[in-house]
Structure 1
Amino acid sequence: MNSSKACAPYLAIVVVQLAYAGSNILCKLALEQGLSFLVFVVYRHLIALLILAPLAYVLERNRRPSLSFRLLVKVFILAMFGITIHQNVYYLGLDYTFPTVASALSNVIPALTFILTAILRMEKVSLRSAKGRERIAGTIFCISGALVFTFWKGYLLEGFVKRPLIEMHAEGDVHHKEDWLKGSVLILTSYIAYTAWLILQAIICEVYPARLSLNTMICFFASLQSSAVALVFERNAASWRLGWNLQLLTIIYCGTVISCLTYYLLTYCIGEKGPVFAATFIPLQLVIVGFLSAFIFAERLHIGSLIGAFIITVGLYCVLWGKSRDSNEEDERSSIMPCSEIFVPTRACQP
């Protein structure tokens, strides 16, 4: 029983990365077919709200903490960073580049999360210890690799297949879709907002452990914020109409699987293991999306992309290695120290 409970966060975070990888591919196809990303963000969170609200009301009716105005403001800011800013900027960037680029650049999230948690003293880092220096060096590598990936192309490499499995034809105005630099900068900006979302969520979970209710409020505020943005920038009524096509499938998938399931699983993982743990598994997306994009889109990468991805991977595992050594030392101290001397922190987001 204990082993299965210990493995649950690892299984949950792998499911999250698989779900996000699938959404990256679907969203790219739907955007190419003319789906407005502004409308898409609104619809997917309205679907999530309709699903989560009844579940939160029934399952957490007797153990939902009381709400305060200060907490509502925090959740409003959480929704703004994690959804309204992150997703709208992300999908705008994805419209200019390929899913593999977006997934590769996501490897900077563990480094950014580590930096911010260290600044906020949520993670302990010591320059005097080898493991502390490893984590700092890994963070520098991750950021350097992202810069190489973004700003240096180099030679164009051959793809795995000659022709894409699915031909993409954009509707309407074509800006051309392969604006590498613009797309990369936008996606990096969205990941900064996502990092803030991970950390702020960990802070809020400590005072509001009702996960379903928290995610319901996030989707509610995200729907309001995204609707306001969409009504200002997307005034074409035709963009709000949906048919029985890939665009509707993408909205339903992201509304149910991403905005419902993965948001809940992320809240669970952050509550059990912290924001750095949730961020360190993001590189799994790169492997999944890279494999799928190579065959679905016949995507070709540049030599600079591979070098940048390699530098990011080296940096990531430096951070992970230092983090694992910290965890091992804490476990050893806990097994040696008497119970009266062990400081047990409050576990956030307990079910």
Structure 2
Amino acid sequence: MVVIQLANGVTNILIKISLDKGFSQLVFVVYRHLIAMLLLGPFAYVLERNQRPSLSFSIITKIFVLSSLGTTIHLNVYYAGLAYTSPTVACALSNVSPCLTFLIALLLRMEKLKIASMRSKAKVLGTVICVCGSLVFTIWKGHLLKGFVEKPLIDIKAGSVGEFKHTKQNWIKGVALILISYIALSGWLILQAVVLKVYPARLSLNTMICFFASLQSSILALFFERTPTSWKLQWDVNLLTTVYCGVVIAAFVYYLQLWCISNKGPVFVAMFSPLLLIFVAIFSAIAFAERLHLGSLMGAFVIIVGLYLVLWGKRADSNQIRKHQCDDSKVPEISTKDVPMLNPVREEA
């Protein structure tokens, strides 16, 4: 999950640069999932041909809805909101995802909560601490710290459109769009755990998610991006962003996320979202020469403490489940010597 958040942090920086340069978000979503589908398809066909379950209408419907939530809705709405805000603000808003995922999992009884147990208290307290740390990171500034670099490695020159997007009205619009995207993301994480139970072939599932994502986004792009120049890629940062997100995010990170959900559950995956805020702030400080504040360090420390509490609670849950399974597997052996009726009686001659 740390690797996933590192990869997502690089993605946020690249996408912000591409969007500021006028790259179409709809076309970008189509291309990145087409690349992932073409990359994963042969591996899924060869490696999972003997363990891939048969597809039913119910499974296809669930995968279609899964693609709609996690890719078509989440990504397109998120990129639309990112165009009006900064990557740091967008990542700060991502911290609603752990709370939403935890609440949905409780309602669906995918997570068990016993207030009397220490592990449940640790999970709830850790979730609250992560959110509080994110708020401290975003709101409280404090003293400016010395920057990593004196001059930005990447210089983005925004034109009139960029100046218009930073008005207060459009900043509120961007925040609202990003919040909607993270609601869809929470539903996506929960639904992945549901689909994995009936279709455990992760490579094939990821391939079909990318297929439906590219299909759905293509339909949207045909309506909103009719100019042929929007679909043209050149040797620039837009091509780099598309290839990186197709290979690293849609193919590699999606698969890692499915693996983590199948082993640890959706809440475990969602709890690592606050790390994205820390990584993006560090990347922005290096790439754009943004100076961090004292509040950023304090917020990062609080986020790590909250994350540790949640992970401790999840580990305690896993240990408890394994303990119950071991206790159930231990069946007491009954000796026939202890049961007189089972002992043969020797008749004396």
The TM-score by the shorter chain falls in which range? 0.7 to 0.9
Cα RMSD (Å): 2.9
Contact persistence 1:131–1:322 (CA under 8 A): yes
Instruction: Please state if 1:18 is matched with 2:18.
Output: no
Quick one: which of 181, 204, 227 aligns to 1:190?
Answer: 181
Match of 2:281 in 1: 290
Contact persistence 2:67–2:213 (CA under 8 A): yes
Match of 1:42 in 2: 30
Give the number of the structure whose alpha-carbon radius of gyration is greater: 2
Match of 2:341 in 1: none
Show CA shifts across 1:35-90 (max 9, x none).
Answer: 11111001111111112222222222232211111111110100000000111111
Quick one: which of 67, 73, 80 aligns to 2:61?
Answer: 73
Instruction: Please state if 1:299 is matched with 2:290.
Output: yes
CA 1:171–1:264: 2 relative to 1, 3 Å = farther
Match of 2:89 in 1: 101
CA 1:340–1:261: 2 relative to 1, 3 Å = farther
Instruction: Please state if 1:240 is matched with 2:228.
Output: no
Match of 1:325 in 2: 316
Where does 1:105-124 land on structure 2 (aligned, <5 Å)?
A: 105-124=93-112
Show CA shifts across 1:232-283 (max 9, x none).
Answer: 2223332111111110111011111111111111111111222122223333
2:226 is paired with a residue of what secondary structure? coil
What residue identity is the alignment partner of 2:208? M
Quick one: which of 107, 127, 133 aligns to 2:115?
Answer: 127
Q: Distance in 2 between matches of 1:280 and 1:145?
A: 13
Match of 1:250 in 2: 241
Show CA shifts across 1:151-197 (max 9, x none).
Answer: x5767946614532211023673333476544333223212211111
CA 1:232–1:218: 2 relative to 1, 3 Å = same
Q: Which runs of 5+ in 2 are unaligned?
A: 333-349
Q: Distance in 2 between matches of 1:187 and 1:304?
A: 23
Report the count of equivalent residues.
328
Match of 1:347 in 2: none
What residue identity is the alignment partner of 2:82? L
Q: Distance in 2 between matches of 1:185 and 1:141?
A: 23
CA 1:303–1:182: 2 relative to 1, 3 Å = farther
Match of 2:51 in 1: 63
Contact persistence 1:108–1:146 (CA under 8 A): no
Match of 1:208 in 2: 199
Q: Distance in 2 between matches of 1:178 and 1:30?
A: 20
Q: Structure 1-normalised TM-score?
A: 0.82
What residue identity is the alignment partner of 1:280? M
2:165 is paired with a residue of what secondary structure? coil
2:249 is paired with a residue of what secondary structure? helix
Instruction: Out of 14-23 and 304-313, give the one that drifted further.
Output: 304-313
- The CA deviation at 1:121 is 0.5
Q: Distance in 2 between matches of 1:230 and 1:171?
A: 25
Q: Distance in 1 between matches of 2:135 and 2:221?
A: 31
Instruction: Out of 271-280 and 131-140, give the one that drifted further.
Output: 131-140
Q: Distance in 2 between matches of 1:315 and 1:308?
A: 11
What residue identity is the alignment partner of 1:270? I
Q: Distance in 2 between matches of 1:266 and 1:18?
A: 13
Q: Distance in 1 between matches of 2:263 and 2:29?
A: 28
Q: Which runs of 5+ in 1 are unaligned?
A: 1-12, 342-351
What residue identity is the alignment partner of 2:256? L
Match of 2:346 in 1: none
Instruction: Please state if 1:217 is matched with 2:205.
Output: no
Q: Distance in 2 between matches of 1:333 and 1:301?
A: 47
CA 1:65–1:335: 2 relative to 1, 3 Å = closer
Instruction: Please state if 1:87 is matched with 2:78.
Output: no
CA 1:22–1:165: 2 relative to 1, 3 Å = same
Contact persistence 1:110–1:316 (CA under 8 A): no
Where does 1:249-268 land on structure 2 (aligned, <5 Å)?
A: 249-268=240-259
What residue identity is the alignment partner of 1:236? T
1:173 is paired with a residue of what secondary structure? helix
Contact persistence 2:285–2:292 (CA under 8 A): no
CA 1:168–1:178: 2 relative to 1, 3 Å = farther
Match of 2:154 in 1: 166
CA 1:147–1:282: 2 relative to 1, 3 Å = closer
Q: Distance in 1 between matches of 2:47 and 2:167?
A: 46
2:121 is paired with a residue of what secondary structure? helix
CA 1:110–1:44: 2 relative to 1, 3 Å = same
Contact persistence 2:83–2:165 (CA under 8 A): no
Contact persistence 1:107–1:312 (CA under 8 A): no
- The CA deviation at 1:110 is 2.5
Show CA shifts across 1:3-35 (max 9, x none).
Answer: xxxxxxxxxx33322222221221122212221
Q: Structure 2-normalised TM-score?
A: 0.82
Instruction: Out of 306-315 and 86-95, give the one that drifted further.
Output: 306-315
Contact persistence 2:278–2:300 (CA under 8 A): no
Where does 1:131-170 land on structure 2 (aligned, <5 Å)?
A: 131-143=119-131, 152=139, 157=144, 160=147, 161-170=149-158
